[in-house]
Structure 1
Amino acid sequence: MSVGDPEVAAATAPLLEWLNLLDARLLQARDVSSFEGYLQCLQLYSDDAQHDAIMSRIWSFFTASVNGQTLIQLRIAFLEEHVAQSLGIDFQTMARMEDATANQALYLDVLTYLDHSQKNNIAWYMIVDMIRSVVLRRRPEVWNELDTILSDWRASYVEPFLAKARDMITDDEAFAQFSSSYAAAPANAFDAIEDTRYYDAGDSDDEVVLHDGNNEGGLVESLKRLQISAVPARPQGPRRAVNR
């Protein structure tokens, strides 16, 4: 049975769509059987296949099989998937980011920085600074719109957690500092709390009130547990088609 058989095509189409690789120009303008090389790279029937080895084969296949522009589109498709799963950025937001940059090579760089932020545990504000630098160097006129998109997404992403954290941090100034720090670099926000003394609401007025009502394991641990439960679910398919 070959890739060109209707039965196989019907079985593989959902997989390709899920991977955001169902590009009509790839599968209609070309002989469908040529995609068999990609399926072979997946090593679907191998019990000891390694992820890095599979990805190396996939990109070797793409590099040898498609032109430079299509290769960029495929790299974008893979990176969008990584960014969605690692950072939780939804595909609608990424579509807006691509429209704002109006340049696929620049958009690819933006996605690459976002992907690196999670892999290397880089604070959000630092990644935004890196993205700002490359955008201002290459297409400064698009930065304001892109910055707004990133800021709006970040605010919507952290809002569910901060809304609930407000019940644990009862001092207005302390919460304002924590929320600002958390939006920029969550780890730093927790570290700052760990370096702060905590007082119950009944203490003197000049003492900062950072009160965890449950007080099980301390405020920091309670906030970290809350963070896990409040983080929005990672975006799920179907992905938008790769028909740029």
Structure 2
Amino acid sequence: MNYAGKFDASLSADESGLHSNGHVHVETVHAAHVPPGAIIVPDAQLLFNGDFKRSGVDLILSRDHQELVLHDYFKGEKRAALSSPDGAHLTGDTVNALAGNVQYAQADGSTAAGHIIGHVTKLVGTATAVRNGVSVILNNGDNVEKGDVVQSGSDSTLGITFIDGTVFGLSANARMVLNEMVYDPNGSNNSSLLSLVAGTITFVAGETAKHGDMKIDTPVATMGIRGTAVLFAVHFKLPNGVLLPD
């Protein structure tokens, strides 16, 4: 297996105002394989740290003065994964979210209102959420929704508390996709999926990790989390050892 970066998950000292005790079990760590049909993006910095934009059926990746156009990327129903040359990749669903190509339909076919899954509980500096292709400035107390791409600014930290009690802290210049959060205190099918695209996150696991299916996805591995609350850190680094996206 070849990776275009370094994945690191560990217990962490408190860096984001998160406090906890208890234990957590990383039930599964599945090393990521490049999916069949993945498109190779030669520049890993552009892939994991660039801006994603949809233009018609084309996908445009840009960073600084670089630009890469993937023609006809949005043609058809399924989206190909995007991979760096060494194998770290973003799934088609994650690319959809990064490009703001995520909308949820109601039973009658109309576009559903945003599904609130948490709110901002701590913010130092600046942070944004890309929601349906529009960048929204986040403030303390603001809601976050399913499908949001949240990103902390330079010299900033962002804390989010989800509806199941899970608390996430994003370090400066971290980016995370809020793919899924299903939680019912009386239900038995609780689940969550959050995708780290770049940087460092810390978290205290909530009810879903105890009584459901909690997963954290990174470009090189997917973790299944079980157990009670504990402070945990997840990092994604490029091969040269520079923490994305610094």
- The reply to whether TM is greater than 0.5 is no
Of Structure 1 and Structure 2, which has the larger fraction of its residues in strand?
A: 2
> What TM-score, normalized to structure 1?
0.23
Q: Which has the larger radius of gyration?
A: 1
Of Structure 1 and Structure 2, which has the larger fraction of its residues in helix?
A: 1
> What TM-score, normalized to structure 2?
0.23
